[in-house]
Structure 1
Amino acid sequence: MDSRCSVVVHEHNHDISPTKSRLIRGNRRLNLQAKRTLDINDQASVRLNKTFRSLVGHVGGFENLDFVECDTRNYIGQQRRVFGKEGDGQILMQHFSTMRELNNYFYYEIDTNAENRIINVFWVDARSKAASMDFGDVVSFDTTYLTNKYDMPFIPFVGVKHHRQSILLGCGLLSSEDT
């Protein structure tokens, strides 16, 4: 199938409205005040649609916002997935350090963002590390398995033994599935 453009029909185009250019994805921005309001209301368990409506009312209507409701949902989802709130990140790092002290073959990798919050975690114990040498030819992983309270999917890396049995080769938590 040829994907090149061969015909342009100008009658199907619409004039660009300067008032609606704010809705183009590249022009949409959550300002600091909106982010702060979203964070505070999320911590207070205020429903997101109510928070969005309050933001609309505060600025005097939808046409005065530089973002849409989907942007607020994406922002809150991203904030909830940031691993490291409530001290859990520190506890995880301490646990992994302890595991490493008990066994030199325990391996972990932790990615952090600009605020030094944990966003991705990968770990493998000694037994799984050894198994990956023997059974790591084919590895599968499923990002839809489970999520934790941060909505981070748990990713088991699974191989297949010579007797067609599954074997765990490693684990991970990801803040987004595009990682």
Structure 2
Amino acid sequence: MKEKNPNFFFELQLEEDQSIKLAFWADARSRAAFEYFGDVISFDTTYNTNRYNLVCGSFVGVNHHGQSTFLGCSLMKNEEIESFKWLFQSWLRCMGGNAPKRFLTDQCASMKRALEACMPTTVHRWCIWHIMKKIPSKLNRYKGHADIEQEMSQVVWNSHSKDSFDRNWNDFLLNFGLADNKWLSDLYEDRHIWVPIYLDHHFWAGMRSTQRSESMHSFFNKYITRNSSLIQFVKQYDNCLGSREQAERELDAADFHTLIPCATKSCIEAQFQDAYTHAKFREVQAQFRGKANCITRLKNSALGYGKKYTWNRSC
């Protein structure tokens, strides 16, 4: 791969018997894409190559069409802290030492500690979907566990400030007699890396979970079987990237040659129409449609304290 593509990057760590312990690689396309789409990264290691008992991890970003884009791939024999440190340092070297602003992973203590060491300025977020999915198995021994699950979801999703989350969480624990539950206590200690109210003021490119990475693993399955050799794995990975790149090119061409009409007469909407890709403009346009029949009225104005407006929808 390196001979065909000078910008292909790879690093390898072997065991004493010369078997693979750790491997990371990224081609020129992934390295170039990172410069544009490397602000927010999703990383997941739930895909197993099976034949060699190596865990595959993928670094995934979001491109200008809202599509998932590959930003590197890894193979790991174990998921220990030092292994993740090696991997993240290798990935950073590949990307010119530029750490992303945001990093989304599954709930994993080893990854958390490795990220703190390798990317101390990056905001780390745990996948909330995986955490909420664990509630039944973690709390099913309690009486009324269905009510517990529902109430916990309410607290997590409907607390609109950090203080209200703290109050609601404490009330939730007291009401259900869960104050001594270690899993919940640990979650509360780490609330700053998974509870929405602590994180949603940051830009996350529309991601709250690692499902983009997992969907990319599903995409892998179209190219790779459990019996694929490592050489086949790398080659098919390259084919997979080629397929994604072709899909991006087709959308780029459609954006260049076609135009989505504005839904309103707003000059601001027209600016978005000119600057955004079709996929992103459709998202903005939906908001413009929702406000098309609204009238803005000044509610009150106080010198030095700004102005407050109300929205009224006309029929």
Q: What's the TM-score once normalised by structure 1's chain length?
A: 0.42
Q: What's the TM-score once normalised by structure 2's chain length?
A: 0.25
